Structure 1
Amino acid sequence: MTTAPADPGPTVTTNIPARLDRLPWSRWHWTIVIGLGTVWILDGLEVTVVGNIAGRLSEPGSGLAISSGQVTGLAAALYVAGACVGALFWGRMTDRFGRKKLFMITLAVYLAATALTGLSFDAWWFFLFRFLTGFGIGGEYAAINSAIDELIPAPYRGRVDLMINGSFWVGAVAGSLLSIPALNTDFLAADVGWRLTFALGAVLALVILLVRRHVPESPRWLMIHGRDREAEQVVSGIEQRIEEEQGRPLPEAHGEITIHQRRAVSFLEIGRTVFSDYRKRAVLGFSLFIGQAFLYNAITFGFGAILTKFFHVPADHTGYYFVVIAVGNFLGPLLLGKLFDTVGRRVMISTTYLLSGVLLFGTAWLFDQGALGAGTLTACWCAVLFFASAGASSAYLTVSEIFPMETRAMSIAFFYALGTAAGGISGPLLFADLTGTGNIGDTVLAFSIGAVLMCVAGLVAALLAVNAERRSLEDIAKPLSAVAAKAKAASAGREGGIAPPSSSPA
């Protein structure tokens, strides 16, 4: 399932992947998690804040001539479009020019665009920089997920990836709580509070940017792109730091891989690899992203309307219910993440998808029977999203690890753009109309559509998911540049030689 490189360079044999995968969890790995992973908190903060300030922006004295519908409609659509375009554009650049260069650039784009959004003086300016903010955050998904998976040891890759992707909901909670004082005119003027929320996002991005300076380039990427001396220096430096921290020598690394070093991979080769050589895995990626996109939209696009129309919850109180749901979303990946590395990918991906779908069916039935109130419906949503959030996070993990190294960032970008477009285009068109009618049957139908697609994705995962737990990335999908490999696997972790320390994440 590999393709010979069109521009083979020198042939080298290396044990760098094995050396990275046999590392015990350390303070250095926490630096990677903080430097690269915390950007999802910013994404959650960004999306939630914009939704919460929509009403304020449309009021006289906000300093911006814009309607609430334009903020939640056109501006939201532009943010989604920017994220899709950014993912594809920066994903290609990430595979070609490196992880570190691009995760610095994409965060800088996000920082600048967020700060300039806060300076909006007219609607066109606000719309432009909402698009550019999305353009930056879309690139982050490709650059960050590929870098994290290539730097985190195989025994911990699943739980770390899920925890990081799930941290979006920490930002969502923070955005909801931040909006309360920021929009209170007793504290801040109507044309100041909403601007400060964007300024805070820019400040947090700047802090993360400073931390990221200490995150190295992926040694795996350096190795394939003819920079094996730099790769050796990076890995040796990491090993030295961890040995000093542990106070003992590291275990021997087992497994080597031989590659033809190369500079670039064509779009044709990427397409042929993902959609021909790995077509079953492509079907899996499609199913996981579409399923989670529609389930989330079945709930979130009708969230406020359902609470206000059916249960008469005041509009300014729906944010409290959202905080509860967001907490449930974060706890799913946090508490279930370790099981993706121990019980296994296939079992956990299919189980979380199927459970969330079945629970949403149950919620739809109870809602149709009139058996739920605002609190009990929110509790049902929490149960659904506890499992759905872990499943959705595993979708990003899956497409990051099941395709060859040379196509990793572009694969993440493609499936992310697919899921985002489905959520940001099809979702509003379908679910906003259904849940906004005030008809119980229409809302039940919306829930059922999301549940069906989630269950279908779970069944696809049961058949096609890859048992990637505790395995080297090179073992899961051999690099296109690989020409030979040693008989032993490149991951000591999957041989049972490394037990997770008590300080391991999640």
Structure 2
Amino acid sequence: MVQQSAPASDSVPAGTVTTDIPARLDRLPWSRWHWMIVIGLGTVWILDGLEVTTVGNIAGRLSEPGSGLAVTSAQITGITAALYVAGACLGALFFGRLTDRFGRKNLFMITLAVYLTATAMTALSFAPWWFFLFRFLTGFGIGGEYAAINSAIDELIPSKYRGRVDLIINGSYWLGAIGGSLLSIVALNTGIFPENVGWRLTFALGVLLGLVILLVRRHVPESPRWQIMHGHDDEADALVGSVEKTIEKEKQRRLPPAEGEITVHRRGTVGFLDIARTVFRTYPRRTVLGLALFVGQAFLYNAITFGFGAILTTFFHVSTGGTGYYFAVISAGNFLGPLLLGRLFDTVGRRIMISSTYLLSGVLLFATAWLFDRGSLDATTLTACWCVVLFFASAGASSAYLTVSEIFPMETRAMAIAFFYAIGTAAGGISGPLVFADLTKSGVVGDTVLAFCIGAGLMCAAGLVAAVLAVKAEGRSLEDIATPLSSARQPG
């Protein structure tokens, strides 16, 4: 139900509105409609995992004569990775701003289109500059996806399930990583595809899967929460009413009445000054938390994990074509973490689970570094150690996206996700590949141990920050966790 005390225009919302739509969304039981949201929005992370893993695993082939590109393996794992991440950071900021202004649905359609176009162009690469350019633009699209998708998911999924769903969706990246690892094995087999064709087909497959996702995504609605804040009250009420009728028919029972309303004094577009004031002045502790979580996980993954193939070939003499098998195994460990631990973030609680997953992964990585330094590991046992480390690290890393998407006000949600993603990923994802590419390829055990220890130290530091600053968000409405800027009830 929506009650207006003044009219609102589509271009500049105005007036006061009292609504129970957030409460109606949060009290919905899990249904087929929610599965449609998950599939339409969440499966793009599978494509991201497929993309990044494929590029890492085919780096050796691209640097070989006959690949069609005159690049070195170091350029692929270093420069290309840094450009991809730089594009993702800029894309997150650019599209994050537009997502808060023009709506979740408009932008998550555009960002996927950008991603698909750039991926298709990557498959047609004929020179290094072309490959580098479209890796940057692919990252630009995927960065926008992070802002648009995470904000939409959190606003559409009931509060009871929000934590586990968000974690599993972000963790599905590793399903794509498994596919990318296995796909690279086939693509690198010159008995099946010529050297200059196989790697191109991996990108073409990503485009094909993305088109399927695009067709499903057409049916994902706009966020009713965003519609209320921007003057589209009738559309929001009609959408939620339709969903309620659909779910009642599916469950064959009446839904309980929603409890709780919120009154907002709608305003025009929130400017960058308002966003900065909200992030740094109103919620400084939450800002420190978000930065710590993102920097820690970004260094662990972008700076170290994506150099795993180089470690295998350099220290254990695993063939280039065989690294995909090992990476598929650690990717499985990454996915199982959010899948099996996700429910605990909604039941045991955010603070305990976020801090413990970060601390456990950091401590276990220190132990792995010690064993590696002693020469106690081979390719198989190192992979086993990484599986255990990343089981916890993946759940923690996914919770970073969950955290920043739910602890800041509605009007700034997409931009907040974009800001923390960009800052954290730039710190670990741009500098990391450039610095750690040399450490993991040097052939000096001590250099790789140093890389492990830096990642472990930052994860432990982030875990300690979470133990003190994490917000009790489990089972709570987004509007209760962070009062909207336009709410009649402001944080005191």
TMscore range, shorter length: over 0.9
Residue 369 of structure 1 and its aligned partner are, at CA, apart by: 2.8
CA RMSD of aligned residues (A): 1.6
Work out the CA distance in 2 between the residues paired with 1:343 and 1:145: 22
Number of equivalences = 479
**Higher alpha-carbon deviation: 188-197 or 433-442:** 433-442
Q: In structure 2, what residue type is equivalent to 1:406?
A: E
Distance apart, 1:67 and its partner CA: 3.5
**Residue 162 of structure 1, aligned match among 155, 162, 167:** 167
Q: Percent identity?
A: 78
Q: Is the 8 A contact 1:298 1:447 kept in 2?
A: no
Which runs of structure 2 are paired with 1:395-414 in the superposition (5 Å)? 395-414=400-419
Taking the aligned partners of 2:224 and 2:257, their CA distance within structure 1 comes to 18
Q: What is the match of residue 501 of structure 1?
A: none
Match of 2:281 in 1: 276
Query: Structure 1 CA distance, aligned partners of 2:325 and 2:343?
Result: 29
Report the CA distance between 1:119 and its aligned residue.
Answer: 1.8
Q: Helix, strand or coil: the match of 1:155?
A: coil
Residue type matched to 1:468 in 2?
A
- Which structure 1 residue ranges, 5 or more long, are not aligned? 1-6, 486-506
For residues 136 and 263 of structure 2, the distance between their equivalents in structure 1, rounded to whole angstroms, comes to 43
* Alignment of structure 1 residues 147-158 onto 2, 5 Å: 147-158=152-163
Is 1:21 the counterpart of 2:21 in the alignment? no
Secondary structure in 2 matching 1:482: coil
**Which residue in the other structure is 1:171 paired with?**
176
Tell me, yes or no, if the aligned pair for 1:346 and 1:461 is still in contact at 8 Å. Answer: yes
- Residue aligning to 1:44: 49
Question: Do residues 364 (structure 1) and 369 (structure 2) align?
Answer: yes
How far off its partner does 1:322 sit?
Answer: 1.0
Q: Distance in 1 between matches of 2:65 and 2:463?
A: 48
Residue of structure 2 equivalent to 1:503: none
Question: Which residue is equivalent to 1:375?
Answer: 380
Output one character per residue of 1:339-389: Cα deviation in whole Å (capped at 9) or x when no partner. Answer: 000000001000101111111122122223332222222111111110000
Match of 2:353 in 1: 348
The 5 A counterparts of 1:177-256 are 177-256=182-261
Tell me the alpha carbon deviations over residues 47-74 of structure 1, each in whole angstroms, 9 at most, x when there is no partner: 1112222233333333334333333333
Q: How does 1:469-484 map to 2 (within 5 A)?
A: 469-484=474-489
**Partner-residue secondary structure (3-state), 2:488:** strand
**Which runs of 4 or more aligned residues in structure 1 lie more than 4 Å from their structure 2 counterparts after TM superposition?**
none
1:317 alignment counterpart: 322
2:196 aligned counterpart, secondary structure: coil
Q: Which of the numbers 104, 125, 137 marks the counterpart of 2:142?
A: 137
What is the letter of the counterpart of residue 44 of structure 1?
G
Which letter does structure 2 place at the counterpart of 1:153? P
SS of the equivalent of 2:485 reads: coil
Structure 2 residue identity aligned to 1:451: A
Supply the distance in 2 between the matched residues of 1:156 and 1:484 (Cα, whole angstroms).
Answer: 26
Aligned partners of 1:314, 1:114: CA distance in 2, in Å? 27
**1-side partners of 2:93 and 2:104: how far apart?**
14
What CA distance in whole angstroms lies between the structure 2 residues aligned with 1:58 and 1:296?
23
- Matched ranges for 1:68-79 at <5 A: 68-79=73-84
Report how far residue 320 of structure 1 moved: 1.4
Deviates further, 331-340 or 445-454 = 445-454
Matched to 1:347, the amino acid is I
Task: Give the partner amino acid of 1:223.
Answer: I
- Equivalent position SS for 1:483: coil
Write the distance in 1 (CA, Å) between the matches of 2:307 and 2:489.
53
Aligned pairs for 1:479-498 within 5 A: 479-484=484-489
> Alpha-carbon deviations, 1:304-352, whole Å to 9, x = none?
3433333333333222111111100000000000000000000100010
For normalisation by structure 2, the TM-score amounts to 0.94
CA distance in 1, matches of 2:189, 2:321: 12
Q: Pick closer, same or farther for the CA change 1:312–1:197 going to 2, 3 Å.
A: closer
How far 1:302 moved relative to its partner? Answer: 4.2
Distance 1:452 1:65, change over 3 A: closer
- Please give the alpha-carbon distance, in whole angstroms, between the structure 1 residues aligned to 2:199 and 2:456: 36
TM-score (structure 1 length as normaliser):
0.91
The match for 2:312 is 307
SS at match of 2:160: helix
Distance 1:430 1:176 in 2: 24
Question: How big is each residue's C-alpha offset from its partner over 1:117-156, in whole Å with a ceiling of 9 and x where there is no partner?
Answer: 1122333222221111111111000000000000000000
Task: Point out where structure 2 has 5 or more consecutive residues left out of the alignment.
Answer: 1-11
Preserved CA contact (<8 Å) 2:185 2:322 = no
Structure 1 residues 217 and 301 mapped into 2: Cα distance closer, same or farther (>3 Å)? Answer: closer
Alignment of structure 1 residues 447-466 onto 2, 5 Å: 447-466=452-471
User: How far, CA to CA, are the matches of 2:472 and 2:375 in structure 1?
Assistant: 42
Is the alpha carbon distance of 1:8 and 1:175 closer, same or farther for their aligned partners in structure 2, counting shifts above 3 Å?
closer
Distance of 1:112 and 1:297 partners within structure 2: 24
Amino acid at match of 1:268: L
Q: Structure 1's 324 and 119: CA in aligned 2 closer, same or farther, altered over 3 A? A: same
Say if 1:311 and 1:374, in contact at 8 Å, map to a contact too: yes
Distance 2:431 2:197 in 1: 34
C-alpha displacement of 1:165: 0.3
**In 1, are the aligned partners of 2:92 and 2:147 still within 8 Å (CA)?**
yes
Aligned AA (1:326): S
Structure 2 Cα separation of the partners of residues 253 and 27 of structure 1: 20
Counterpart in the other structure of 1:497: none
How many angstroms apart in 1 are the aligned matches of 2:328 and 2:61? 20
Supply the distance in 1 between the matched residues of 2:150 and 2:468 (Cα, whole angstroms): 25
Q: Which of 99, 107, 115 pairs up with 2:112?
A: 107
Q: 1:363 to 1:55 in 2, by over 3 A?
A: closer
Per the alignment, residue 10 of structure 1 pairs with 15
Q: Structure 1 residues 126 and 34, CA, compared in 2 at 3 Å: closer, same or farther?
A: same
Matches of 2:228 and 2:82 in 1, distance apart? 39
Superposed displacement of residue 298, structure 1: 5.4
- In structure 2, give the amino acid aligned to 1:294: F
2:77–2:307 contact (8 Å) kept in structure 1: no
Q: Shift in Å at residue 297 of structure 1? A: 4.3
Q: Secondary structure at the match of 1:313?
A: coil
Cα deviation for residue 75 of structure 1 reads 2.4
CA distance 1:286–1:12, change in 2 (3 Å): same
Q: Secondary structure of 1:154's partner?
A: coil
Between stretches 16-25 and 311-320, larger displacement belongs to 311-320
Shift of 1:452: 1.4
Q: Secondary structure at the match of 2:161?
A: helix
